[in-house]
Chain A
C-alpha cells in the first residue's frame, strides 16, 4: 500500500507512525475509512465559523426552500437560511452533545461498574438493581420525562442521555472486571497490601480500556443519533441554533416538493454515524487479541 511507504522523520511522531498498532490501523479498512470521516466531521465542527459561508441565522427570503445553486450550495430552508452553513454549525452541536454525554457516562459507568464487579456483595446488588431499573424504561420516555422537568435545551439532552446511557457502560465494565477478578495478579496485589481503589485503577482499568474504547466509539454514533431524535421531537436544541435532527424535522413538511433540507440533514447525520461505527468496528478488530493474532 502506498500509505505505508510514506517515510516520516525519526522522533516520537515517526515512531508512532511506524509503531505496530499504527501499521495495523492503516491496514484495517474500516478503521481507516471511519477515522477519515470522523476527522472530517471534527475538523468541520472545529472550524465551523470560518467554513460556513453565511451566518446560520441569516434569513434570505429569496432563498426560501431554494434548490442548490451557486449562491447556496445546498439550498435554503423554510426561512431562507443557508443549509450548508446550518449543517456545518450543526456538527458542533452533535459532537458537543455526544462528547459531553460520553465523558459523563464513561466516568460514572466505569467507576460504578468497577466497584460493583470488584467488591461484589450488596454493593454490586445495589448498583446493578439501579441499572436494571433504568434499563426497564425506553430511553425516549426518560428523555421526555427529564425535558418535562428541565424544559427543552441542550443541557436537557445531555442530562437525559447521560442518565440513559451510563448503565450500559457500568454493565460492560462490571462484566470485564468480573473476568479479571480471578486473575492471580489481583490476588498478588492484595497479598502485598495494595488498597482496593489502587487495584481498581492501576491493575484493572488498564486491562479493560480496549473494549471500553470500542464501546465509546460505537457509542458516539448512537449518541449523535439520539440527540438528533430528541431535537427532531423538539426536546433538544432550540431555534435558531441549528441541529441536524431539527433540520430533518423542519424539512419533512416539504419533503415531496423541496426535499433538500431533510435530505442533506439526513446525509450529514448518516455519514457521521457510519464514520463512528466504522471506526468502532475497526478498533474492535484491532484491539481484540483473538483477532489480532490472525
Chain B
C-alpha cells in the first residue's frame, strides 16, 4: 500500500499515546512469595493519524496486545497518556468511557472466544447497537446490512456461533466492530488464528472496509508479512519498547534497527531468485521480569558493543517521521 495517506494526513492524530507504561504485578513463587512487577509496555509513544493503518509488530510477549488493551481502556495504564481525538481519556471512568466506546472498536484474535457461544449472531452483532438504544427492528435491519458488508448471508443471523467456521466467525467479529460506525478499530492479531487462504480474504475485507468507511486502524500482529500487506506505517516492538517506527516502504527498503533487520530477513520470499541473507537471532527473548541492562536487545544483537550493554538508547527521530531506538542505527 502507499504511504501517501500517512504523510499527507499529518494533521492532528486521531489516537495518540504518550510515554505509555504498564506494569503487571506478579508474585514469584517459592517459600516466601516475593512481589515483583513485569513491565509489559515501557515508555511507548506513538500517534495514529486519521485514515491510516498503523501496524504494530513484535514477537509474542513483547507487549503489543497490552498496548491495544490499554488504548481500549480494558487495562489501566501505570503511567503515560492516551488521547482520542485530542481528548485525554487516560483516567476516564468506565461510565465516562461509554459514550466514546462507539468510536473505538476492536477485533480480537481468537474468533472462538470472542463470540459468546450462547448468543445468536443477531444479538452478537447487534449488541453495540442495543447499547446505543436502537430498537429491535432497526437493529435487525442494520445487522442484515452489516452481514452483507462482511459477506455473510443475512438469513444466518438467527444461528449460534458454533455453526460457523473460523473465518466466518471472524467476519461476525468484524461486523460487530463496524456496527456503530466507529472511527478507529484495533485489530488484535485479527487473522493469526485463521488458515492462510482465509487470512487473505479477511485482510482484503479489512482493506475494503477501511476504504469504504475511511477508518483508522491499529493492526497488531506478530506476522510482518501480514502487517506489511495492510499498513501505511509500522511500529516494531521488542520487550515492551518501541524500537522502530517508519513508513512501510522505508521500513522494508532500509530497516534501521538490527531487530527490524532480522525480522525482515525472516519474512519468507516466494521468489527463489532472490538471495536471502537471513539474520538468525541467537537465543530467546529475555524475560520481561528482569530485562537486560543497557539496550534490551543487546543479548541477541549481532552488532552489540560495549555501550549497548551499559547505556539504554533513547528513541529518537533520525529522519522526519522516522524513529529508532538504537545507538548504531543503519
Chain B, range 103-135, C-beta contacts under 8 Å to A: 104-106, 108-110, 113-119, 127-128, 131-132
CA A190 to CA B119, docked complex, whole Å:
16
The 8 A CB mask of A182-198 against B (1 = contact, 0 = none) is 01110111111111101
Smallest distance from the beta carbon of B190 to chain A beta carbons, Å?
12
A188, B118: Cβ atoms under 8 Å?
no
A207 within 8 A of B: yes
B74, A185: Cβ atoms under 8 Å?
no
Q: For residue B161, which residue of chain A has the nearest CB?
A: A185
B116, A207: Cβ atoms under 8 Å?
yes
A206 within 8 A of B: yes
B170 within 8 A of A: no
A15 within 8 A of B: no
Binding site for A on B (CB under 8 A): 69, 72, 74, 94, 98-99, 101-102, 104-106, 108-110, 113-119, 127-128, 131-132, 173, 176, 179-180
A191-B104, A192-B180, A193-B101 known; A185-B116 Cβ under 8 A: yes
B74, A207: Cβ atoms under 8 Å?
no
A192-B176, A193-B101, A193-B102 known; A184-B108 Cβ under 8 A: yes
A24 within 8 A of B: no
A192, B113: Cβ atoms under 8 Å?
no
- By a CB distance below 8 angstroms, the chain B residues around A191 are 72, 74, 101, 104-106
Chain A, range 95-127, C-beta contacts under 8 Å to B: none
A192, B108: Cβ atoms under 8 Å?
no
A185-B115, A206-B118 known; A190-B131 Cβ under 8 A: no
Smallest distance from the beta carbon of B195 to chain A beta carbons, Å?
20
A27 within 8 A of B: no
A29 within 8 A of B: no
7 contacts between A and B (CB under 8 A): A183-B116, A190-B94, A191-B72, A191-B106, A192-B101, A192-B131, A193-B102
CA A191 to CA B109, docked complex, whole Å:
15
CA A4 to CA B117, docked complex, whole Å:
29
Smallest distance from the beta carbon of A74 to chain B beta carbons, Å?
47
B131, A193: Cβ atoms under 8 Å?
yes
Smallest distance from the beta carbon of B100 to chain A beta carbons, Å?
9
CA A192 to CA B176, docked complex, whole Å:
9
- By a CB distance below 8 angstroms, the chain A residues around B94 are 190, 196
CA A228 to CA B172, docked complex, whole Å:
53
CA A191 to CA B104, docked complex, whole Å:
8
A189, B127: Cβ atoms under 8 Å?
yes
A188-B106, A188-B108 known; A194-B127 Cβ under 8 A: yes
Chain A, range 157-212, C-beta contacts under 8 Å to B: 183-185, 187-196, 198, 202-203, 206-207
CA A145 to CA B165, docked complex, whole Å:
58
Q: For residue B101, which residue of chain A has the nearest CB?
A: A193
Known: A191-B74, A195-B98. 13 other contacts (CB 8 A): A184-B110, A185-B116, A187-B106, A190-B74, A191-B101, A192-B101, A192-B179, A195-B131, A196-B94, A202-B119, A203-B116, A206-B119, A207-B116
B74, A187: Cβ atoms under 8 Å?
yes
Q: For residue B107, which residue of chain A has the nearest CB?
A: A188
CA A256 to CA B114, docked complex, whole Å:
65
Q: For residue A193, which residue of chain B has the nearest CB?
A: B101
A193-B98, A193-B128, A193-B131 known; A187-B108 Cβ under 8 A: yes
Q: For residue B104, which residue of chain A has the nearest CB?
A: A191
- By a CB distance below 8 angstroms, the chain A residues around B176 are 188, 192
- By a CB distance below 8 angstroms, the chain A residues around B131 are 192-195, 198
Question: Which 9 residue pairs across A and B have the least CB separation, nearest first?
Answer: A193-B101, A192-B128, A184-B114, A206-B118, A184-B113, A185-B116, A193-B131, A184-B108, A193-B98
